Amino acid sequence: MTSKQIPEDATPLAEGPAFPLLVKGMASLMMLAMIYWGVGAAGQMVWEDFSTGAALLYGGALLISLVVYVWILKSRTLISRSTIEQTWIWNKRVNIADIRQAKFIYVPYLSWLVAPRLIVRAGPAVSVFYTASPEVQRAFACLMLGK
């Protein structure tokens, strides 16, 4: 097999965004609100009393918030015949053959608000895969039914 060929069991059955538009919109509103009130609070601060430790704490919190926000916007979930993957700050990947327990959480008529997710146990590790894509949700349901 050459490096250009993809094994048949690794071709995606379904792929799509991990989080629904409403979750992305709410995350965007929360980021805007945090920036708006942060700028307002910065104008009222006494900067001479602001320690290096406090600056590191605020900077770290802002950095973590921004990184998580970006990944909420761009995270994707993929299921193939052999693996389930989700891009995130660190990518998650589980071989389907290694799954010992699985639970698919889906709230009918509320998937636009509560992101459906597949929780799997593969050995001692537990992984959660979110999806807003109906195709990936169907593939998760088929996996749960043993198809």
Q: How many CB atoms lie within 10 A of CB 55?
A: 11
Stated pTM of the model: 0.79
Task: Please give the Cα distance from 143 to 67 (Å, whole number).
Answer: 31
My answer on whether 47 and 12 are in the same domain is no
125 or 46, higher pLDDT: 125
Could you give the CA distance from residue 42 to residue 26 in angstroms, rounded to a whole number?
24
My answer on whether 85 and 138 are in the same domain is yes
Kindly state the tokens that stand for 118. 């597949």
- Give 32-52 pLDDT, tens digit per residue: 999 999 888 888 888 788 889
The domain of 60 spans: 20-72
Task: Report the pLDDT value the prediction gives residue 47, as an integer from 0 to 100.
Answer: 79
* 56 assigned to some structural domain: yes
- Domain end (from 72, 96, 116): 72
pLDDT at 2 over 60: no
pLDDT of residue 9: 56
Radius of gyration of the chain (CA): 20
In this predicted structure, the answer to whether residue 112 has a pLDDT above a threshold of 90 is no
Q: How many domains does the chain have?
A: 2
Residues 46 and 68 occupy one common structural domain:
yes
My answer on whether 80 and 58 are in the same domain is: no
